């Protein structure tokens, strides 16, 4: 303890203390000072931009609606159109590209950590 000469004092809400204690327990650390010191020095915050995920959700919704319309038409008429199939393929490729971008962004976050 002799090396530790500076003191930082913080005020927290009781529910925040409970969260800290829960995370300490999950990490297997019993000394709160050691845990807070380690997190303040080595910890990091990940802030995710979920706009790409919202776009993927939007694209999936459009694709699902189109697929349902094609299935309905096929049931009613007994036929499907190659144009519709190609449109679904294009939409699937767009979804796949968007997912690839999200995956690459997660990999870059992981590689930085």
Positive or negative, the Cα torsion across 53, 58, 61, 67?
negative
Question: Distance between CA atoms of 25 and 31, rounded to whole angstroms?
Answer: 10
pLDDT values of the chain reduced to their tens digit, one per residue, 113 residues: 678 889 999 999 999 999 999 999 988 899 999 999 999 999 877 777 788 899 999 999 999 999 999 999 999 999 888 999 999 999 999 999 999 998 888 888 777 65
Predicted TM-score (pTM) of this structure: 0.55
Token match 């190609």: residue?
86
The structural domains of the chain, with segments of one domain joined by +, span 1-43, 51-112
Angle at 22 between CA 17 and CA 26, to 5 degrees: 145
């Amino acid at each position: 303890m002799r090396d530790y000469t500076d003191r930082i004092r913080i005020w927290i809400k009781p529910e925040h203390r409970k969260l800290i204690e829960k995370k300490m327990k999950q990490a297997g650390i019993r000394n709160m000072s050691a845990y807070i010191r380690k997190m303040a020095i080595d910890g990091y915050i990940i802030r995710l931009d979920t706009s790409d995920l919202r776009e993927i959700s939007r694209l999936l919704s459009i694709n699902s609606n189109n697929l349902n319309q094609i299935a309905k038409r096929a049931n009613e008429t007994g036929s499907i159109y190659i144009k519709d199939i190609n449109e679904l393929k294009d939409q699937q490729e767009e979804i796949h590209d968007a997912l690839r971008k999200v995956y690459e962004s997660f990999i870059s976050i992981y590689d930085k950590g």
